[in-house]
Chain A
Amino acid sequence: MKLERKEFIKGIIKENPTFVLALGLCPTLAVSTAMSNGLGMGIAATFVLLGSNIFISLIKNIVPDRIRIPCYIVVIATFVTITELFMKAYSPALNRALGIYVPLIVVNCMVLGRAEAYASKSSVKNSIMDALGMGLGFTLALLLISGIREILGLGTFFGYKIIKSYEPMFIFALPSGALLVIGLLMSLFGLLKNKKT
């Protein structure tokens, strides 16, 4: 039980997929304009990660080594398609907001990276824990980035206005603001890590 807890917790800070491993940055930056989008993307990616991790750790002994990457990609793409159809049916507004970044979860390096580096070598139980931890780390990172960008750039929190008289700095809602926020957050993480060791 202790080991599983460790697998779960490592994804949140120590091996945070966004800030430490620098995986899956494209969707992180693109959809983090508002917190609701960030949350939606986080949940979608977590679902795909969970599904693909379980499936890949189940088939890891059947798949020949040389064609494993295409096999993994097909598995991931299947789960992405499920997510996309689900989102279209139950939350069309979110689907419109996330746009092409939903199908692009397929090429999110985080999902393939975990499949290759972790799920293809570990038991199903550990893979589930790993997927949940990584997914949570990814979602938290997305919420952090989109929170900063939404509060500074639009002056709202999950769509609710916080301070009436605040004049938003719109640059944070634009692409360059996203790059700036992630650059600064990454250096902050680096600073904290250096302090610890």
Chain B
Amino acid sequence: MSIGQFLSIFISAVFVYNVILSRFLGLCSFVAISKETKPALAMSLAVMFVTTMSSIITWFIYRFLLIPFNITYLRTIAFILVIASFVQLVEMIIKKISPPLYRFFGIYLPLITVNCAVLGVAVLNIDMFFVNGKAIEGSFYYSVFQGICVGLGYTIAMLLMSGIRERLDFCSVPKCVKEFPLAFIIASIMSMSFMGFNGFKF
């Protein structure tokens, strides 16, 4: 475990391999919800929370349940079930203890279950921080940190995109390019600029 490792996870998860612009995870929510800044922020915060928590939970499930019983091939089923029930649980808790927060998140929370970014982080953590079915040193901390960083990368891309799209509302664009196609073309240019972070190393 070293600071350098954490820094390189940070740089690669937030910038170089940005979850949306380079790995294409969570793309559906990215184009669907980035029309305005406020819902975009709500969605990003919800995603960040869920990626972090699901990194923790899936790490424990993999390390203490799937490996000892030698059923690692069931990881997809196990992870998606855990994530889905976790999201459901969070929704119920928020609804109970903080109705304003629940209204703030609205429908975005249940949508996260099928957000590929969440399952993507879980699978990525396993691929990166488990070698030959054994956890590498500090793999738990790396996993959690990667969960946070991926959420952060999602937030950055989401905020940039929604800011741009809010301004684009005032421009006249051809009818066939409106909405989705335009969003993708903008995302392409953003992704190009994020490529500039390539080569950052520690």
Name A residues whose Cβ lies closer than 8 Å to a Cβ of B: 22-23, 25-27, 29-30, 69-70, 73-74, 77-78, 80-81, 84-85, 99-100, 103-104, 106-109, 112, 171, 174-180, 182-184, 186-188, 190-191, 194
Contacts and interface: CB of A to CB of B under 8 A. Distances in A.
Chain A binding surface, main DSSP class: helix
A73 B123 contact: no
A176 B74 contact: no
Contact of B181 (A27, A178, A190): A190
Nearest to B175: A194
B181 A187 contact: yes
A179 B187 contact: yes
Contacts of A30: 23-24
Given A100-B123, A107-B118, A187-B182, 7 more contacts: A26-B26, A70-B84, A81-B74, A103-B75, A109-B114, A176-B191, A178-B24
A78 B74 CA distance: 9
B166 interface: no
22 contacts: A22-B28, A29-B27, A30-B24, A69-B113, A74-B77, A74-B80, A81-B77, A100-B127, A104-B123, A106-B76, A108-B116, A175-B22, A176-B195, A179-B191, A182-B184, A183-B181, A184-B181, A186-B184, A188-B176, A190-B176, A190-B177, A190-B178
A26 B189 contact: no
Nearest to A183: B184
Interface centre among B24, B75, B85 (most CB of A within 10 A): B24
Nearest to B198: A174
B73 interface: yes
Interface string B12-30: 0000000001111111100
A28 B70 CA distance: 32
Contact of B80 (A99, A107, A178, A180): A107
A103 B76 contact: yes
Nearest to A110: B28
